[in-house]
Amino acid sequence: MHIKKKDKVIVLAGKDKGKTGDVLKIFPSKRTAIVSKVNFVKRHTKPTQTDSGGIREKEAPVSVARLMLVCPKCDKPTRKKWEILSDGKKTRICKKCGEMIM
């Protein structure tokens, strides 16, 4: 997967095109991710003893093909490249500014 939890991403296609948000959860087997403040759907819930029912809004998963990583330093959508550091650790590098992406 080219994105990880807590990454800042931008939506490339769909009804939320151009919106940015942080990745909350990743589903690698389905190749989807839940992004904060993106792809809101309404769910009708029945009342229970602890919760009153009603219409709730929550984020739904988005395909990772529609998401692009945003570099924290240059604050632009970018592709990433993998680089192996001198200590043998594999890290992601921004292709635009060359900065490490944590």
Residues 91 and 101 in one domain: yes
Q: What is the DSSP string of the chain?
A: ----TT-EEEE-SSTTTT-EEEEEEEETTTTEEEETTSSEEEEEE---SSS--EEEEEE--EEGGGEEEB-TTT-SB--EEEEE-TTS-EEEEETTT--EE-
Residues 23 and 64 in one domain: yes
In percent, the amount of the chain with pLDDT more than 90 equals: 98
Domain of 92 in residue numbering reads as: 72-102
Average pLDDT score, the chain: 95
User: What pLDDT does residue 1 have?
Assistant: 85
User: What pLDDT does residue 12 have?
Assistant: 98
Residues 42 and 85 in one domain: no
Residues 12 and 22 in one domain: yes
In percent, the amount of the chain with pLDDT more than 70 equals: 100
Does the pTM of the predicted model rise above 0.75? yes
Q: What is the pLDDT of residues 27-66, one digit of tens each?
A: 999 999 999 999 999 999 999 999 999 999 999 999 999 9
